[in-house]
Structure 1
Amino acid sequence: MHWPDSIRLREVGPRDGWQSIKQVIPTADKAYFILQLIKCGLRELEITSFVSPRAVPQHVDAEHLFDILKNNTFQGPEPVLSALVINTTGVKRAISCGVSTLAAVISATQSHSLANSGLTIEDALLELTSMHNLATSHGIKVRVAIATAFGYPGHESVDIQRLRVIVDNLIHLKIDEIILADTPGLASPRQIYQTVHALNKSYPGHTWGLHLHDAHGLGLTNVLAGIMAGATVIETSLGGLGGCPFLPGAKGNVATEKVAFMLQEMSINTGVSLSCLRKLLEKCPLPYNPYRKEQNQNDSAGQFQS
């Protein structure tokens, strides 16, 4: 097969990883850490969420964080700093502070949709339409992650036809980047390959990505299977932070540094400096270090994970 020359890595640790930490990190320290990630070569970062502070206390400072970061001058390509939204209220907050890119989530299973947003899949798709129309009317780009795209333990299984129904709705909204999220970390490499390959073939010209959780040690293998099938975006989290709060003992995301190392060894460019990431992990410039495993127990501070 022909391997791609490059893969886009999107760092989601500041949103997905930090939201599970009970101790609120000072906004200035969050901003400083994000700037260090950018200096390591990461150019796409999901840094916060515009959701209820009662649900996710860690992201109560979303507006303030964006205000700090937008006043920085960056060397090289301007980084894309995005945020998660789940309703039009969140979109309005994002508009108020000049966010250029938003991520929305649609669940492929009813159980997860109700637990994650309080909406059925059908109602969530209607809300997404309103969110998308509002965001795009203000020049904001929207991508969508399909949560539990590969199944949800003890609940519904997900087949390709169910995914096609959701994807058809997203294509109708002219959403051109779709992330398939293995929220509980259930997927096997074969399932990843077959799903991405089928969707990539059926919907040519669209960007397909993966958001994977490493529950059974298959994270890197699943990344590889997805790339083989045509995925061009991989969402990762430094140190493997993250994990769905609805699954006891849920494992974190695939680790940025591990994915970057694997791709580097395969001569696939990510633009990321491994030595820089390793130094950042070793000397985390946060007063509370969420990258120390004994401190990070995936305490569920909130919801709305993909």
Structure 2
Amino acid sequence: MKLPQRVKLVEVGPRDGLQNEKQIVGAAIKVELIERLAASGLSVIEAASFVSPRWVPQMADGSEVLRALLTSPQRRPTVAYPVLTPNLKGFDAAVEAGAEEVAIFAAASETFSQKNINCSIGESLKRFAAVVDAASALDIRVRGYVSCVVACPYEGAVDPAKPAWVAKQLRDMGCHEVSLGDTIGAGTPAAIQRMIEACATVVPLERLAGHYHDTYGMAIANIYASLELGMAVFDSSIGGLGGCPYAVGATGNVATEDVVFLMHGLGIETGVDMEQLLNAGQFIARHLGREPGSKVARALLARCDHRQDG
């Protein structure tokens, strides 16, 4: 078994994480969080979502956030700030704000697709094809997401052939990368490996990413199982922020701090500085009025406090 020498982490906390917070986080706080994350060495940070503010009020300031990041004197040219665009209207707004990379999201479950975006999988793919065509004309990269790749809150277990089919549609329409999401965090290492193997028969493994929620405490185990197959791109969220409003009990994304600790323990390069990452996690946790959701962050910060007390 040969694990990857280096992995790419896609930080989704500022978008996928914060969108589920009831407390509205101001644009200035979002921008500072993202800049702190960039300072830690993360090279891809999902910055905003261009969806209807009626449905996701937390993301109403997406244009303001993206413009501030792209014009900031602190901007690092090596850091990408993709934004979520569910349709052409969202895509046009993102382009107007200066977006250089966008993301679209489909589901491997018909019921989840209807509950999440009010249309069938087939209908959603038609919408996304129009977004990808528009992005291609402007040389804007597109990343695809697939939700409910191993289990659905409404349909139960999902046949691996379903996410594989959706992933292939997204890849064929022009997505440079497809992120496979265990939306309700019910996956186990064996189920995750079966799903990845099915997807890798139709999409090159190097174009696939893992996006695992930690509802049942399996996210880190599932990431290791993915590493065993050679996967080298993973989504994570600072402090474990996030969840899914359409999946009851889906407590959140895997914490970036926990993933970085795993990778460094395995001798796998991430390009991320843990101290700076902890700084970013503490910043947003303080603003939200709670402790960091990362087990690693809590352990390392407690050890630091103990040394200072001593």
TM-score in terms of structure 1 length: 0.90
- State the match for 2:108 in structure 1: 108
Equivalents in 1 of 2:290, 2:56: separation in Å? Answer: 16
Paired residues for 1:97-246 under 5 Å = 97-204=97-204, 206-246=206-246
- State the match for 1:57 in structure 2: 57
Equivalents in 1 of 2:210, 2:256: separation in Å? Answer: 13
The answer to whether the aligner puts 1:86 opposite 2:86 as a matched pair is yes
C-alpha displacement of 1:76: 6.0
The one-letter amino acid paired with 2:18 is W
String of CA shifts for 1:70-98, please: whole Å, max 9, x gaps: 11245765200011111111111111111
Tell me, yes or no, if the aligned pair for 1:43 and 1:77 is still in contact at 8 Å. no
String of CA shifts for 1:108-150, please: whole Å, max 9, x gaps: 1011101111111110011111111112111111010110011
The one-letter amino acid paired with 2:42 is L
- SS of the residue corresponding to residue 246 of structure 1 reads coil
Equivalents in 2 of 1:214, 1:108: separation in Å? Answer: 19
Equivalents in 1 of 2:286, 2:65: separation in Å? Answer: 15
Tell me, yes or no, if the aligned pair for 2:257 and 2:278 is still in contact at 8 Å. yes
C-alpha spacing 1:248/1:195, structure 2 compared with 1 (3 Å): closer
Tell me, yes or no, if the aligned pair for 1:50 and 1:94 is still in contact at 8 Å. yes
C-alpha displacement of 1:103: 1.0
C-alpha displacement of 1:60: 0.6
The one-letter amino acid paired with 1:185 is G
Quote the RMSD (CA, aligned, Å): 1.9
- SS of the residue corresponding to residue 146 of structure 1 reads strand
C-alpha displacement of 1:207: 0.9
How many correspondences in the alignment?
293
C-alpha displacement of 1:66: 0.9
C-alpha spacing 1:124/1:82, structure 2 compared with 1 (3 Å): same
The one-letter amino acid paired with 2:24 is V
Query: Greater RCO between the two (CA within 8 Å, min separation 6)?
Result: 1
Unaligned runs of 5+ residues in structure 1 are: 294-306
C-alpha displacement of 1:279: 2.9
Tell me, yes or no, if the aligned pair for 1:48 and 1:82 is still in contact at 8 Å. yes
Aligned-residue identity in percent: 31
- State the match for 1:4 in structure 2: 4
- SS of the residue corresponding to residue 222 of structure 1 reads helix
Unaligned runs of 5+ residues in structure 2 are: 294-310
C-alpha displacement of 1:282: 3.3
- State the match for 1:301 in structure 2: none
C-alpha spacing 1:20/1:164, structure 2 compared with 1 (3 Å): closer
Equivalents in 1 of 2:254, 2:273: separation in Å? Answer: 17
C-alpha displacement of 1:200: 2.1
- State the match for 1:264 in structure 2: 264
Tell me, yes or no, if the aligned pair for 2:101 and 2:140 is still in contact at 8 Å. yes
- State the match for 2:23 in structure 1: 23
The one-letter amino acid paired with 1:7 is V
C-alpha displacement of 1:202: 4.0
The answer to whether the aligner puts 1:249 opposite 2:249 as a matched pair is yes
TM-score in terms of structure 2 length: 0.89
C-alpha spacing 1:125/1:98, structure 2 compared with 1 (3 Å): same
Task: Give the structure with the larger helix fraction.
Answer: 2
- SS of the residue corresponding to residue 194 of structure 1 reads helix
C-alpha spacing 1:204/1:247, structure 2 compared with 1 (3 Å): closer
The one-letter amino acid paired with 2:151 is G
C-alpha spacing 1:109/1:290, structure 2 compared with 1 (3 Å): farther
Equivalents in 1 of 2:37, 2:284: separation in Å? Answer: 11
C-alpha displacement of 1:275: 1.5
C-alpha spacing 1:285/1:118, structure 2 compared with 1 (3 Å): closer
C-alpha displacement of 1:253: 0.4
String of CA shifts for 1:44-72, please: whole Å, max 9, x gaps: 00111000001111111111111111112
